């Protein structure tokens, strides 16, 4: 594999991606301008710094696969 290639996405990452799509409206209302870590299709931690969220996710779920997402704010928020 060349150094510039992204690592293959795991099945768990794909499930988390699908969950994110299905729940995005709720997520932009609950976590605008935040990084979230998702494991097993649930938010396990959030924060404004990706580095801090990564560290917290590793502390909370050292043996689980998690995905990181930045939730953009939206003008559809109430």
User: What distance in Å separates the CA atoms of residue 53 and residue 67, rounded to the nearest whole number?
Assistant: 11
pTM for the structure as a whole: 0.82
Q: What is the pLDDT of residues 8-46, one digit of tens each?
A: 788 989 999 999 999 999 999 999 999 999 999 999 999
Domain count within the chain: 1
The answer to whether residue 5 is domain-embedded is no
With cut-offs at 50, 70 and 90, classify the pLDDT of residue 7.
low
The answer to whether residue 32 is domain-embedded is yes
Q: For residue 66, what are the domain limits?
A: 11-71
The answer to whether residue 4 is domain-embedded is no
The answer to whether residue 6 is domain-embedded is no
The answer to whether residue 19 is domain-embedded is yes
The answer to whether residue 1 is domain-embedded is no
């Amino acid at each position: 594999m060349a150094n510039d290639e992204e690592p293959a996405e795991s099945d768990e990452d794909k499930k988390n991606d699908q969950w994110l799509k299905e729940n995005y409206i709720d997520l932009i209302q609950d976590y605008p301008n935040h990084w979230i870590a998702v494991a097993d299709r649930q938010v396990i931690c959030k924060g404004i710094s990706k580095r801090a969220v990564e560290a917290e996710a590793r502390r909370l779920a050292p043996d689980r696969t998690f995905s990181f997402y930045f939730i953009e704010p939206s003008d559809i928020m109430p």
